[in-house]
Amino acid sequence: MNLTRCGREYAAPILDILNEAIQSSTALYDYRPRTLTMMDSWFEGKEKDEYPVIGMVDDAGRLLGFTSYGTFRAWPAYKYTVEHSIYVEKNSRGHGIGGKLLGAVIKAAGEQGFHNLIGGIDAENATSIALHRRYGFEHCGIIRHAGFKFGRWLDLAFYQRILPTPTQPADG
Ligand SMILES: CC(C)(COP(=O)(O)OP(=O)(O)OC[C@H]1O[C@@H](n2cnc3c(N)ncnc32)[C@H](O)[C@@H]1OP(=O)(O)O)[C@@H](O)C(=O)NCCC(=O)NCCS
């Protein structure tokens, strides 16, 4: 098992993992499966802002999970804050892959000089909340009834981890 940077060649397996989570869970506040065309603009956004997409692959090169981050809020003074996401393929959960990916994304955010990593986690997602707490994330708020899916209101909990970077933050 290895961590790897994922380019567009991973669009199809990333899409499969996302669509399984969209259809079976409230991990994503999304109703309909995404398409490969939508993955094009997803990767474009990552490439434009140089946001990493980090995957875990097995020895045969099959994608077991991935993590990435993106803009938290699109106003300039939020520039040191990013919001990440993390997904592990259904049959590979519970084997420590999520932990390795979360460690890798924290490291990448520090290397890119970000200060704040935010996870927006459905309040009922006990696995993800436990994982984030284990990696030093602290609860920093909840938006009640932020979403509506599967016929019910969903509460969105926010977790943050503050990083020691950047050494010299500056306006502008
Ligand atoms: C959340 C997710 C990324 C975690 O990945 P994973 O590879 O299963 O995670 P790990 O195996 O590294 O760790 C899971 C930990 O949660 C613990 N856990 C599992 N269910 C739990 C629960 N209901 N309550 C508390 N802890 C729980 C496990 O015991 C494990 O901890 P341990 O390593 O100390 O034993 C993965 O389950 C997933 O992709 N889920 C669907 C999509 C999703 O929810 N993504 C997150 C959106 S915010």
Q: What angle do CA 24, 28, 31 make, to 5 degrees?
A: 65
In a domain, 59, yes or no: yes
In a domain, 167, yes or no: no
**Distance from residue 16's CA to the centre of ligand 1 (Å):** 19
In a domain, 14, yes or no: yes
pLDDT at res. 50: 97
pLDDT at res. 32: 98
Three-state secondary-structure class, residue 66:
strand
pLDDT at res. 46: 97
Measured by CA distance, the residue closest to atom 44 of ligand 1 is 27
Whether ligand 1 lies within 6 angstroms of the CB of 125 is answered as yes
pLDDT at res. 13: 98
Structure tokens at 89: 């393929």
Whether ligand 1 lies within 6 angstroms of the CB of 87 is answered as yes
pLDDT at res. 19: 98
**Distance from residue 155's CA to the centre of ligand 1 (Å):** 19
**CATH code of the domain containing 111:** 3.40.630.30
Instruction: Give the atom of ligand 1 at the shortest distance from the alpha carbon of 93.
Output: 8
Three-state secondary-structure class, residue 142:
strand
In a domain, 168, yes or no: no
Are the C-beta atoms of 140 and 158 separated by less than 8 Å?
A: yes
Whether ligand 1 lies within 6 angstroms of the CB of 169 is answered as no
Structure tokens at 146: 């932020």
Whether ligand 1 lies within 6 angstroms of the CB of 96 is answered as yes
The segments of the chain whose pLDDT lies below 50 read none
Measured by CA distance, the residue closest to atom 27 of ligand 1 is 127
Whether ligand 1 lies within 6 angstroms of the CB of 18 is answered as no
Measured by CA distance, the residue closest to atom 14 of ligand 1 is 94
pLDDT at res. 168: 95
In a domain, 123, yes or no: yes
Containing domain of residue 41, as a range? 2-162
Share in percent of the chain as helix, strand, coil (round to 5): 35, 35, 35
Whether ligand 1 lies within 6 angstroms of the CB of 1 is answered as no
In a domain, 170, yes or no: no
In a domain, 172, yes or no: no
In a domain, 152, yes or no: yes
Counted domains in the chain: 1
pLDDT at res. 53: 98
19-34 residues labelled b (16+ CB within 10 A) or e (exposed): bbbbeeebbbeeeeee
pLDDT at res. 170: 97
